[in-house]
Amino acid sequence: ASRKGILVKGSNYLDVLAKVGTVVFDKTGTLTHGQFEVTAVHLEKCDEQHLLHLAAHVEHFSTHPIGAALRDAFPDEATDGCKISDVEEIAGQGIKAKVEDWTVCVGNTKLMDSIGIEWHDCEHVGTIIHVAIDGEYAGHIVINDKIKDDSAEAIQALESLGVNRIVMLTGDRAAVGKDVAQKLGLTEYHVELMPADKVQHVERLLAEKQEGKYLAFVGDGINDAPVLARADIGIAMGGLGSDAAIEAADVVLMDDKPSKIALAIKIARRTLCIAKQNVWFAIGVKIAVLVLAAFGIATMWMAVFADVGVTVLAVLNAMRALHVRG
């Protein structure tokens, strides 16, 4: 698995991977690239450069894909030496910070509601990032993300492996969530979730899963760490993922490709199958020789084969696990 860019943090997780029946995906950074581009800026109070300037500074320390997009939209951010202080990142909502003497809040409608700012809706399709400066609504920035090339393929591969329930959870707006789910052929998706809501959905899905089957959660952000830990098996994106997500996960996909999940399941099933073959083979031969010995027909060489011979054959058989196609 390591050779294919799949880091499995323990052999017990292979056991669980082989029996996955439900896969729950996060959207941003997991099914989509998480590389947003600013497509529009709608202003209420200040001018565009000022808004982008403040938004970029607030996101200075952010590891969220949205933060990177806002920094890219104002390239001078790193060099103009503005002072940033009192940064507070609220998972699933956005960021508050002080830039020079301005108090700036950048985030979604939930953040605006929580600080009591009246916001304006936007008719554009995309993720809307609202900005408030010194307690007044300043405008919003529309950003857009692209679905990963192999996301659709990943979902089909999981279905063909017998994973019977695939769900998408996202903290993003309903319009964006619906658009992505439709493009990927997902029928079950839930939108506008806070990290705690994601845990609740996963709890529900854990209660509803089939006997003997397990639930996998695939995510990338700090907001996903609680669910990654709660799921039977947590899978994180290693390239784009936040440290917290990678730490909380049991399996890490080094190249961020969701199609690797199906491959990981294939590797796990094959490994488990070989392990079972070896167990039955070893016990079978030993019992056979034991029975022969009880009737006095076993020879010393048969006993040696039942012990060392079987071990060598089992090791050779196990080496087949090194070759998995795909």
- Applying CB under 6 A, which residues contact ligand ADP? 26-29, 59, 62, 64, 66-67, 92-95, 106-108, 127, 129, 170-172, 221, 223
Q: What angle separates helix 260-294 from helix 310-318, to the nearest 10 degrees?
A: 170
Tell me which of 15, 26, 197, 243 is the catalytic residue.
26
Q: Does 145 bind Mg ion (CB under 5 A)?
A: no
Q: Does residue 271 bind Mg ion (CB under 5 A)?
A: no
Which one of 17, 18, 28, 245 is in contact with Mg ion (CB under 5 A)?
28
| Contacts of Mg ion in 207-266 (CB under 5 A) | 220-221
Binding of Mg ion by 29 (CB under 5 A):
yes
Instruction: Tell me if 23 sits within 8 A of 163, measured CB to CB.
Output: yes
Picked from ligand ADP, Mg ion, none, the partner binding residue 269 (CB below 5 to 8 A depending on kind) is none
Our CB check for ligand ADP shows the closer of 116 and 296 to be: 116
Least distance CB 266 / ligand ADP (angstroms): 27
Question: DSSP string spanning 166-206?
Answer: EEEE-SS-HHHHHHHHHHHT-SEEE-S--HHHHHHHHHHHH
Active site residue 26: yes
- 160-165: which pairs have CB atoms within 8 A and are 24 or more residues apart? 161/262, 161/265, 161/266, 162/21, 163/20, 163/21, 163/22, 163/23, 163/265, 164/21, 164/22, 164/210, 165/21, 165/22, 165/23, 165/205, 165/209
Nearest approach in angstroms of CB 170 to ligand ADP is: 4
Residue numbers annotated as active site: 26
Residues binding Mg ion (CB under 5 A): 26, 28-29, 220-221
